[in-house]
Amino acid sequence: MRISPLPTVIMTASPLRTRLVLLIVSISIWGIAQLPAQEKNATKNSIDYETRSVEFHVRDEHGKPLEGAKLFANLVYLDSSKNTKISNSNLVTNSTGIAKYKLSHHVTGLRLWVSKPDFVPEFVDFDKGPQGEVTKIPDSFEFQLARGTKLSGIVINESGKPIPNVTVDVSEELGPKVVRTGDPQARINVDATAVTDKSGKWKITNAPAKRAGDDFQFLLKLTHPDYLSDAEWGGLQTQQHVTTTMLRDGTAKIVMHQGIAVKGTVLNTAGDPITKGIIVWHDEPYYGPTVHEVEIDEQGHFKTIPLPPGKHPITVVTPGFQPIRQIVNVGKSMDDLTFTMKPGKTLTLKIVDSHGKPVPKARVSLRGWRGAESLYNWRHSNVLNSRIPTRANENGIYIWDWAPDDGVTYLISARPFASKEVTLTARETAHVIKLDQPLIATGKVTDAQTGKSVKHFRVIPVIEFRPEFLSTSFQNTVPGKEGQYQIMLNGGMRDRRHLIRIEADGYRSAISKNSFGLGEGPVTQDFSLKPAKPRTGRVVDGSGKPVSGATVIAGTPSIVPMMQNNEFDWSGIPLKTSSDGQFQIAATFEPTRIRALHKSGFAEIVRQPDEDIGTITIQPWAQISGRLFQAGKPVPNQLILFKTVQDRKLGEPRFQDSFHTQTDAEGRFEFKRLPPIAGAVQAYLGPWENSPLTSSQSMPLDLQPGDHKTIALGETGATLKGTVVATGRGEVELNKNWSLNYLIRRDGGIPLPNDFPELSFDPKGPVQPAWGLDPNFYSWLKTHQYYFVKLAPEGQLQIGGVPPGDYDLLLRLYEQPAGCLVETIGAKVIPVNVTANDIKSGTKDLGLIEVPCRVGPRVGQYMTSYKFTDTTGREHTINDMKGRYVLMQVWASWCVPCLKSMPDIKATAAQLADKPITFVGLNIDQRPADAEILVEKNHWDWAQNYLGARSDMARQLAISSVPIYYLIGPDGRLAASSNKWLEIKETVEAALKQ
């Protein structure tokens, strides 16, 4: 994560319009300003409108005051009417290195950026603490800026000639969070801009000096109006293997390529030029790091910035006319484009409250159209003004009289109501949108023994993603007092159900038995807390000495801390041990996994709710050093992962860990601190992403305390080659890139952990394709040496660095997915024996490997025998639907792309209600009840059929991934199939127009 130098709430567009992501202030920061009137009144007495002065001291590394240092302050506060306000201030230090800042409001957040030329910039965030409290802003805070060092390089074109006037933005990826001790802690925040000179050279002078061990990692973003600019931070830099070492010694050379500007004209149906509007060539223009749209000129012409060859989405937005989105294949010989715009449709919204009264001035934001966000109505310097209306009038009426004729997703919001997201199509009559009151929960909290009110406690919303998949939102904590509480549950995720968690000092925490969703409020939920002392533990080292300053974090089934390389990242409440190694955590109703981390080592234990914590003994960290090879050569700039063998399941106390590092220019990598635990090291190789790797060796390691392992991945051994052929599919081609393949060594490996779940297969025998169906297969796999194998689209494989031994090559082929993989269409296991002779020759040819594959229905094939149940519960065959189209849509409740398309499917079904087409949902959830809940809650009112995970119909359709759509014609033949909703939607629209 990078911290931008300035929050974009105050940014204005520069000539090159560098894009920064909007500073999103969560409900926890917006605080009580987002609550309804009754809740505002309930919290009135807790607000203290302070007025005081804060001094910020800026010194150099020697303690000398720095005059003229600039501080940018971004303050979030509540005004006297309890409305959230944002104030931005620019400060400059005086001759004593001091800048004074006056706080005159109730502060809910303060962010500070400090900089001075030739010094390393810093950032500090006075924000909500882990339990929702605002970090106290001290009367005095000191920044100590280190003297900066130089980063430099040169930018050239494909002919080797220097390119002047390239804007080079430099940012530093945050390493360790702590720059110095203190609370809160300042962070280094490099964000600098340089411009290349006539010789193509650039430099900055405020980078942090090289540190011991892992150096800082810097990201570049290059922009030039005549060349292909970076589409993301570090894009060209990563592709061309530019390292931090090169940036420091000035040898960093980056080549920028010529692109192709798309030009064209926009006309009305009479052939006259349209002179107002914008052209957008990105599906998420707001979040892109560079410019993604341009105004149409007075002659109706437009020209984009240079784009790389290939397919690009182009959206045309012109007031008075229906928007157009189409995919354009950009190439050197392409002609100028011509867009002919049709008159727009009228979309009218009547926005009312639960009593039918108009909601004035409601905000209407566009959230999606045709699977993209290129149609927008944000008013922000990050994007051009689309001129699409943004608000309803005083009578709650919103009119957009040049809307498209298909579904658009809208987010409708107005205080104090809960916002609502709907997907609608333009029509003659108005859509009535009823806004619900926020989901407010109130209740009493009493002592279970005395029945008296608990004086002080904390109320925390808990998001329910699905049963047993919970996330406690500590950042949205609100205080309770004198046995009374009130909280808005759906502040962050309005489409999720929430539970209520109560915590109080001296009591066992509690959580509501039921979850609550919008439309069910107001909610009354009382709690009776059982008195319980805090649980005390002690952290010691191997010799029994107390460990001071160790970080202690607790994970439970409902509190799942996220950790990045042993650094706390999100969710949970980190604690520090005292000078005698002591710590306390609150009593809870859940089993708890307690983790202690210190520079000297790591420890982890599990305790039941009534079990004493006792003494936790730190064990020394393990270390891994290694190199990554392919074809005998080191591979630079590759992501290396360490994955623990055992993945804790939902309902268990757990952490969400990520251990990762990067190979340097010589392919070297290092993990300096790893828990002494069983795991596997592997270079990341995405099956469907571009990579210099064709295979990736996974090395299992049973790490013991203090271990320092040195390994090499893919260095020595034979190279296995072969070609996979899919049989049984006739002329239907299969892209073999869509596959998950593993070469698994039969012997060796490491033992399974003692508490490893029972496997459904006998791991002593040769690998079988069915093993992949066991939910613990991939955890078992990490205990063996294996190679992930990436197939080329035509089926070629190449596995490097395979030593002698017996292996099983597991091949699992899929149809091209748009969302989530479900089941293979073909799988096979090939025994492979690598001999000393293979090592000597260097290559072993596996030849052609035939994999029998299923194939689903093909276009033109009769589908008349397939059955489905309609909305009345009546069973039909496709043959019964003669004269009508049938659109079968396969989906699952756990598939995000499936759910994302559902609102537009609903809107399209409603729009085509009078057309000869029947929509049929085919759900393949293992637990149909999960899908039924979603269907009922979201009013997906077309025919829904719950097939289950392994139905005969799913097998007959050869469902390999979801979503997948089948359009059956009036003659009972398959007219089209696709895994993309937009593609099948356009096919449906075209078919119904004939």
Distance CA 221, CA 953 (A): 50
Residues 808, 824: one domain?
yes
CB 422 within 8 Å of CB 364: no
Percent of the chain with pLDDT over 70: 91
Q: What tens digit of pLDDT does each residue of 789-809 get? A: 999 999 999 999 999 999 999
Summarize the confidence of residues 717-744 as an average pLDDT: 93
Q: Which residue matches tokens 């710590």? A: 583
Q: In this model, does residue 856 exceed pLDDT 80?
A: yes
Sheet bearing 122-126, strands edge to edge: 84-92, 70-78, 106-115, 122-126, 187-188
- The reported pLDDT for the residue numbered 279 is 98
Confidence category of residue 40, pLDDT binned at 50, 70, 90: very low
H or E element at residue 822 = none
- The reported pLDDT for the residue numbered 76 is 83
- The reported pLDDT for the residue numbered 941 is 92
Q: What tens digit of pLDDT does each residue of 222-234 get? A: 999 899 999 888 8
Q: In this model, does residue 749 exceed pLDDT 90?
A: yes
Q: In this model, does residue 44 exceed pLDDT 60?
A: no
Whether residue 498 lies inside any domain: the answer is: yes
Confidence category of residue 289, pLDDT binned at 50, 70, 90: low
Summarize the confidence of residues 107-123 as an average pLDDT: 90
Higher pLDDT, 79 or 480: 480
- The reported pLDDT for the residue numbered 492 is 60
E strands present in 318-352: 324-330, 337-341, 345-352
- The reported pLDDT for the residue numbered 537 is 96
Distance CA 404, CA 68 (A): 54
pTM above 0.85, yes or no: no
- Of 802, 818, 852, which one is at a domain's C-terminal end? 852
Q: Is the dihedral of CA 862, 864, 868, 871 positive or negative?
A: positive
Kindly report the CATH number assigned to the domain that includes residue 366.
2.60.40.1120
Whether residue 373 lies inside any domain: the answer is: yes
Window from 360-374, 739-753, 946-960 with minimum mean pLDDT:
946-960
Q: Take residue 600 and report the two structure tokens written for it.
A: 């000297």
- The reported pLDDT for the residue numbered 347 is 97
Q: In this model, does residue 637 exceed pLDDT 70?
A: yes
In degrees, to the nearest 5, what angle opens at C-alpha 518 toward C-alphas 512 and 520? 65
CB 946 within 8 Å of CB 925: yes
**What's the chain's average pLDDT?**
88
Number of structural domains in the chain:
8
DSSP labels, 540-578: E-TTS-B-TT-EEEEE-SS---EEETTEEEESS--EE--
Three-state SS annotation for 83-116: CEEEEEEEEECCCCCEEEEEECCEEEEEEEEEEC
Residues 695, 783: one domain?
yes
Q: In this model, does residue 851 exceed pLDDT 90?
A: yes
- The reported pLDDT for the residue numbered 130 is 46
- The reported pLDDT for the residue numbered 585 is 93
Whether residue 185 lies inside any domain: the answer is: no
- The reported pLDDT for the residue numbered 363 is 96
Higher pLDDT, 61 or 765: 61
Residues 607, 685: one domain?
no
Q: What tens digit of pLDDT does each residue of 919-934 get? A: 999 999 988 888 998 8
- The reported pLDDT for the residue numbered 47 is 38
Confidence category of residue 82, pLDDT binned at 50, 70, 90: low
Distance CA 617, CA 342 (A): 73
Confidence category of residue 238, pLDDT binned at 50, 70, 90: confident
Residues 515, 561: one domain?
no
- Of 209, 235, 255, which one is at a domain's C-terminal end? 255
Q: What tens digit of pLDDT does each residue of 865-886 get? A: 999 998 889 999 999 998 999 9
Kindly report the CATH number assigned to the domain that includes residue 948.
3.40.30.10
Summarize the confidence of residues 256-265 as an average pLDDT: 95
Q: In this model, does residue 504 exceed pLDDT 70?
A: yes
Summarize the confidence of residues 490-517 as an average pLDDT: 88
Distance CA 3, CA 191 (A): 9
Residues 828, 968: one domain?
no
Q: In this model, does residue 161 exceed pLDDT 80?
A: yes
Distance CA 657, CA 847 (A): 40
Show Cβ contacts of residue 10 under 8 Å, excluding neighbours closer than 6 positions: 74, 88
- Of 494, 529, 564, which one is at a domain's C-terminal end? 529
Distance CA 675, CA 663 (A): 21
Window from 47-51, 599-603, 650-654, 908-912 with minimum mean pLDDT:
47-51
CB 624 within 8 Å of CB 673: no
CB 636 within 8 Å of CB 243: yes
Confidence category of residue 670, pLDDT binned at 50, 70, 90: very high
Q: In this model, does residue 42 exceed pLDDT 70?
A: no
The torsion angles phi and psi of 143, rounded to 5 degrees, stand at -100, 140
Torsion of CA 827, 832, 838, 842, to 10 degrees: 30
Q: Take residue 423 and report the two structure tokens written for it.
A: 């997907």
Whether residue 9 lies inside any domain: the answer is: no
Residues 467, 562: one domain?
no
Distances (CA, A) of 855 to 141, 824, 888, 963, 973: 67, 11, 17, 17, 16
Whether residue 857 lies inside any domain: the answer is: no
Residues 695, 549: one domain?
no
Q: Is the dihedral of CA 771, 775, 780, 786 positive or negative?
A: positive
Residues 843, 877: one domain?
no
- The reported pLDDT for the residue numbered 8 is 30
Q: In this model, does residue 194 exceed pLDDT 80?
A: yes
Distance CA 901, CA 982 (A): 9
Which long-range contacts (C-beta less than 8 Å, at least 24 apart) are formed by 751-758? 751/678, 751/702, 751/783, 752/645, 752/780, 752/783, 753/645, 753/646, 753/678, 755/646, 756/645, 756/646, 756/780
Residues 882, 950: one domain?
yes
Q: Take residue 690 and report the two structure tokens written for it.
A: 């571009």
Q: What tens digit of pLDDT does each residue of 458-492 get? A: 999 999 988 788 999 988 899 999 999 999 887 66
Q: Which of 3-7, 169-173, 598-602 has the highest mean pLDDT?
A: 598-602
Q: What tens digit of pLDDT does each residue of 550-608 get? A: 999 999 999 999 999 999 888 888 999 999 999 999 999 999 999 999 999 999 999 99
First to last CA, the chain: 51
- The reported pLDDT for the residue numbered 182 is 52
Q: What tens digit of pLDDT does each residue of 122-145 get? A: 998 886 454 444 457 788 999 999
Distance CA 201, CA 156 (A): 9
In degrees, to the nearest 5, what angle opens at C-alpha 806 toward C-alphas 800 and 809? 60
For helices 896-911 and 981-993, angle between their N-to-C axes, nearest 10 degrees: 20
3-class secondary-structure state, position 771: helix
Summarize the confidence of residues 166-194 as an average pLDDT: 73
Summarize the confidence of residues 781-791 as an average pLDDT: 96
Residues 312, 216: one domain?
no
Summarize the confidence of residues 425-449 as an average pLDDT: 93
Print burial letters for 680-703: b (CB count within 10 Å at least 16), e (below 16). bbbbebebeeebebbbbbbbbbbb
Distance CA 46, CA 482 (A): 13
Whether residue 858 lies inside any domain: the answer is: no
In degrees, to the nearest 5, what angle opens at C-alpha 459 toward C-alphas 606 and 112? 90
Whether residue 318 lies inside any domain: the answer is: yes
Whether residue 552 lies inside any domain: the answer is: yes
Q: In this model, does residue 43 exceed pLDDT 70?
A: no
Summarize the confidence of residues 328-355 as an average pLDDT: 95
- The reported pLDDT for the residue numbered 174 is 52
Residues 34, 56: one domain?
yes
Amino acid letter for position 203: K
- The reported pLDDT for the residue numbered 6 is 31
Higher pLDDT, 484 or 1: 484
CB 797 within 8 Å of CB 722: yes
Domain that holds residue 117: 27-145
Residues 388, 324: one domain?
no
